[in-house]
Amino acid sequence: MNKLLDVLRTILLFTRWLIIALILVSLWVWAVQATHAQGVPLVKATHDSFVSYYDIQTHNPALVVYQLEYSHFAGVLKPSGRHFKMDTQLPRPRVKDGDYTNSGFVRGHLCSVADRDSKKSWIKETYLTSNLVPMTMVCNSGPWKAIEDSCRYLAILGHRLRVGRWPLYDNLQNVIQACEAKSVCITIPAGFACAAMCLDCGLRFFQWCPNVGTSHGSGVIQFMNDPRLSILLTNIFGPWCREEYETITH
């Protein structure tokens, strides 16, 4: 009788551990699947003057965040025709300055040089590939410049801004890649967005513009929603920014 009880007890103990193990395994599987549903994790590159969340699928930063106040662009220093330097914090294969040569697109900054010309080291940082995006000349010197100017204007008025800038992509079927004889294909955004909020008074700014000149920029654009961005924007700026982002994406 005692022996039978012992056997039963052992079976019960074994079953209990089996159930715990099963629960742990299914939790792990669920976590892995959840991560995959969100896409490949973004790579964070941290610098003195900005933080970049880099997307290894597009070879573009998915988001660049930095603080902007009037003293940051005293305008003392002038950058002189620099090339972009490879950001060694990014995983390989890395996009390099030469991958843009003859691509038909100019090398655009997300954290603008003009926002950072109070320190030599800061200007240098804006020329890191973690801050580089392909823009048409028209976009870079037109609507995107206007958005940049609006942020600087708010800073001149005395607001201490947290700024976020990121590329927007057209629905996957229409994504253009420029690959010709390059080490890494660059993915051409269909537009660019900018969010800014004042850390003192709560003032909010959200604007976007098409990458005018691409076939996307001229027609009807359906921006793709990136769930990774929704999460980041909520964490960094708050739910208002996520809502703004989701109204322009599908």
Binding site for Zn ion (CB under 5 A): 159, 198, 200-201, 203
Least distance in Å: CB of 159 to Zn ion?
Answer: 4
Considering the complex, state which of residue 107 and residue 159 has its C-beta at the smaller distance from Zn ion: 159
Least distance in Å: CB of 196 to Zn ion?
Answer: 10
Considering the complex, state which of residue 96 and residue 160 has its C-beta at the smaller distance from Zn ion: 160
> Could you give the C-alpha distances from 222 to 58, 152, 174, in angstroms and in order?
18, 29, 10
**Residue found by looking up tokens 């009037």 in the block:** 70
Least distance in Å: CB of 160 to Zn ion?
Answer: 7
Least distance in Å: CB of 26 to Zn ion?
Answer: 48
Residue 15 CB neighbour total at 10 angstroms: 10
Torsion of CA 199, 205, 211, 212, to 10 degrees: -140
Element at 35 (helix H, strand E): helix 2-37
Distance of CA 192 to the CA centre of its chain: 11
Considering the complex, state which of residue 154 and residue 190 has its C-beta at the smaller distance from Zn ion: 154
Considering the complex, state which of residue 84 and residue 206 has its C-beta at the smaller distance from Zn ion: 206
Residue 244's nearest CA partner among 200, 201, 196 is 196
Least distance in Å: CB of 119 to Zn ion?
Answer: 23
Q: Which residues of 36-60 are buried (b: 16+ CB within 10 A; e: fewer)?
A: eeeeeebbebebebbbbbbbbebbb
Considering the complex, state which of residue 18 and residue 157 has its C-beta at the smaller distance from Zn ion: 157
